[in-house]
Amino acid sequence: MRLGYLYSRYPVISQTFCDAEMLALERRGIELVIGSVYPPLTSLRHEYIAKLRAPIHYAPPQEILKILERNAKTTSKWPRDLVERHDAKYGPVAKAEQRARNALYFAEFFARSGVDHVHVHFANRAAHTAVFLKEISGIPFSVTAHGQDFMKDLGSDDLLREICAAAEFVAAETDYSRDLLRQRCPNSAAKIHKVYNGIDMERFPALGDESARPAVAPYHLPRIVSVGRLVAFKGFDELIDACAELARHRIDFFCDIIGDGRLRETLQEKVKQLDLSSRVNLLGSLSQAAVLDKLQAADIFALASTTDTQGATDVFPTVILEAMASARAVVSTRLAGIPELVVDGQTGMLTPPGDSTALADALEQLLRDPELRLRFGHAGRARIEQHFRIEQTVAPLMEMLERSCSRRPAGDVSVSRSALLGPTESSRCRASHSQAAIEIAYLVDRWPDRELPLLEREIEEMKRRNVPILPLVCELSPSTRLNRAMERVSPSLEFLPDAMVLEAEWRANPALAQQLEEDRAQQSSRAPGAVFLRQGRFALVLRKLIQEKDVSHIHATSSRALVCALMLKKLLGVTVSATIEPRSELPREWIQNALPQCVGGRLSSRKMVEHLDGAFFLDKTTFRSAPRKTLGQITRKTRIDLTTGSRFWQQWADLLLGWSGSDRKLNIENRT
């Protein structure tokens, strides 16, 4: 089974349960294909996401999606009837056309990837998109609903019922949310099941002999830790009020609040007004490793979950799982699914939501009784080990996924995929899953680019000659109006995600980043620092994509792209060629030192061609306005026919195929 995951936005630092679930499925041998409509809002990323084998694939910019939409509206691919019905029924707030536009892209992406089933976390935008995805592609989907998503964010019980009706099954993270969903969607009640979130206990060390140390050292002040987004329903207002109550009772303690959000300034001001600045610290967002360190150093974990004025609330906070796995005593509230996790009086203490006095009393009792803290912490750890290990909690999800796939006739998805992609691309897709396809990466620094006026034609010429190129665009040029040729080629381009993702990848791979910087330091002629840092971020994101696509050769379409391509050559061992534009912003000395590392390419400088060995020749596209007599002279000298466009592109195609090894593969295929 090849399983797709579709997110509205991924990764989100507070949604560690998604990461744990996907990692557990990969350990069970499930091949994942991950899609995210939008990039993350921050470059901060938990370290263990690097363990995911599946790369995260982002939708291209909205300008490109709108071109896909216009093209689809001229064919049967556009779900016109469903869009019109959702517009009429749910109004503009549902954004039916935008959901369909996103679904159109991911329908083709998942179909090309051979996905059998798509799973969605959160019954809101992503689940609504999945309804359109199923309509377009026929690929079935399922949903994990959480709480706030269907209780508030979706904004329509009618739409919720339609999502549940279209889904193969719906997983609810607690008994509480399962019962709510069944009440709201009675016709789908039979396929709504509880699936607890779980955690990977390997991230939490086994308990040491904590009883051997003094319960309270003379210098030790007990520390309370709380973690969550700084939003109203997390109850940080009540926690700060409870801290003020503890201070009035002359109890010594520290309280660390980890997380960020729109209430940060308000909460910081409240801490100041209550004279708690020496006791209560707002630490902002931290990495998962830093959060776990804070939990290990804490004496009590507190989360004062409540319900905000719009009805939003916590249902099953993952951070409580993590605190209990860290053997910390927990103080929280009797709200939603929290009592299914924290057993009052055994693993922690539960208080009424919104009651800061009761919260302060519970905290005071634990602060004064280190033995009780220790007992609750050990009992909490045992409860997690018994009921909430990810290996256990993911099992019912696996069963439902396998059951869903087994009920579906084997040919259904193949027929839908063929209808969506066309028979040629569909068969190529099937072949690529059984045997890796050799690809030639066409690396484009930015697009459209005035310095590369014939790039669109070049891509079309290579496609026409069945050269297996993969055009990778690092950045979409802002405010550039696309002409017809650009619109025609845009569906074949693959775009890198935005700057947040690039920065996250750079930060997540300090060893590789350092290796690239050390390589640059040893070069006698260096690319400018700003160019290097930008291209380095592209390279670290591209390396995963190039490995996934089994790329054997990279063609850099400009000198800027060549900076990136040579980094990838060092990281991956691929061969590289280059086109150097007439007016490069890179120093001439750097270009002269870089070109010998290429197997060949096209240059606008005759002097450079004369001083290089290998398959370097003058670029026809540079001389597009030259007199025909001059072109003839260049043709005789370079042995490349610049006067006949078709012959030029065929010779270029032959070179690319030779450099990549694709010519040998194509010859073998032709003989068979």
**Mean pLDDT score, 202-221:** 60
Q: Determine contact, residues 387/320, Cβ cutoff 8 Å.
A: no
d(CA 32, CA 17): 16
pTM of the model: 0.85
- Strands 280-284 and 300-302, how do they pair? unpaired
Q: What is the pLDDT of residues 604-643, one digit of tens each?
A: 888 888 888 768 888 866 554 444 445 455 445 545 554 4
Residue 338's pLDDT is what? 96
Query: Which pLDDT band, with edges at 50, 70 and 90, does 206 fall under?
Result: confident
**For the ranges 211-220, 232-241, 297-306, 506-515, which has the lowest average pLDDT?**
211-220
The CA R_g of the chain, rounded to the nearest whole Å, is 29
Residue 142's pLDDT is what? 98
Please say if the pLDDT value at position 666 is more than 60: no
Average confidence score pLDDT of the chain:
88
Q: What is the pLDDT of residues 85-139, one digit of tens each?
A: 999 999 999 999 999 999 999 999 999 999 999 999 999 999 999 999 999 999 9
Domains of the chain with CATH codes: 2-200+390-421 (3.40.50.2000), 218-387 (3.40.50.2000), 436-671 (3.40.50)
For residue 45, what are the CA distances in angstroms to 13, 37, 316, 459? 6, 18, 22, 35
Place of tokens 């607690």: 174
Residue 617's pLDDT is what? 84
Please state whether the peptide bond connecting residue 339 to the residue before it is cis, i.e. omega within 30 degrees of 0.
Answer: no
d(CA 609, CA 604): 8
Residue 470's pLDDT is what? 95
**For the ranges 164-178, 264-278, 475-489, 622-636, which has the lowest average pLDDT?**
622-636
Residue 418's pLDDT is what? 56
HEC assignment per residue over 317-335:
CHHHHHHHHCCCEEEEECC
**Mean pLDDT score, 42-57:** 85
Ramachandran bin of 293, using left for φ above 0, alpha for ψ from -120 to 50, beta for the remaining angles: alpha
For residue 330, what are the CA distances in angstroms to 247, 319, 375? 20, 11, 11
